[in-house]
Amino acid sequence: MPVATVGIGSNLDEPAANCRQAVCLLQQAKDFHVLQVSSLYRTEPVGGPLQPWFVNGVVRIQTALGPTEVLKALKSIEAHMGRAPAVRWGPRLVDLDLLLYGDCVYEGGGLQVPHPRLTERRFVLIPLLEVDPDGKHPETGVPFAAYLAALGTAQQVEKLREDAACGI
């Protein structure tokens, strides 16, 4: 079965608790088997309006669903948690992004995999490398570590002491 990589983020209410709840809901989803969960990171917002810092992490799941079905399931979890449509790159209760779907390169139905801004975001690459240290971009073959090194340290990312474990 394919392994999908999901980015998790939140910057409203209790962001770390929101991320942990999202991990719990992924673990409870009948079509997903959670393989790995990264640490949580406090991260500086990138783009969008002035807003609170985020908490971000990455989860790797095994699933028989295709990429568009995974996206639908992620959007369902967001809705279940209370996310409402809002300003692009604005504050959010929870954000679940399909970052990778195995080595698949896919575009259609409003979905692009790998995520089009994956290589531009330290808040994605750092937790991604924690769960997949040898990972490479499916289109370019370039290691994710090389993308991270090229970004420098302009985007602040701080590892939190609390983890994203669900505890169920």
Residue from 168, 157, 163, 29 nearest 96 by CA: 29
C-beta of residue 36 within 8 angstroms of C-beta of residue 60 = yes
Question: Is there a catalytic annotation at residue 121?
Answer: no
Question: Is there a catalytic annotation at residue 31?
Answer: no
- Label residues 119-158 b or e (16+ Cβ within 10 Å = b): bebbbbbbbbbbbbeebebeeeeeebeebbeeeeeebebe
Question: Is there a catalytic annotation at residue 92?
Answer: yes
What's the chain's length in residues? Answer: 168
| Catalytically annotated residue among 20, 83, 121, 122 | 83
| Catalytically annotated residue among 60, 92, 121, 122 | 92
| Catalytically annotated residue among 31, 42, 60, 97 | 97
Rounded to whole angstroms, what are the CA distances from 130 to 4, 16, 47, 71? Answer: 15, 18, 24, 23
Question: Is there a catalytic annotation at residue 42?
Answer: no
Can you tell me the distance from the alpha carbon of 80 to that of 113, in angstroms, rounded to the nearest whole number?
A: 24
| Catalytically annotated residue among 20, 95, 121, 122 | 95
Q: Which residues are catalytic?
A: 83, 92, 95, 97
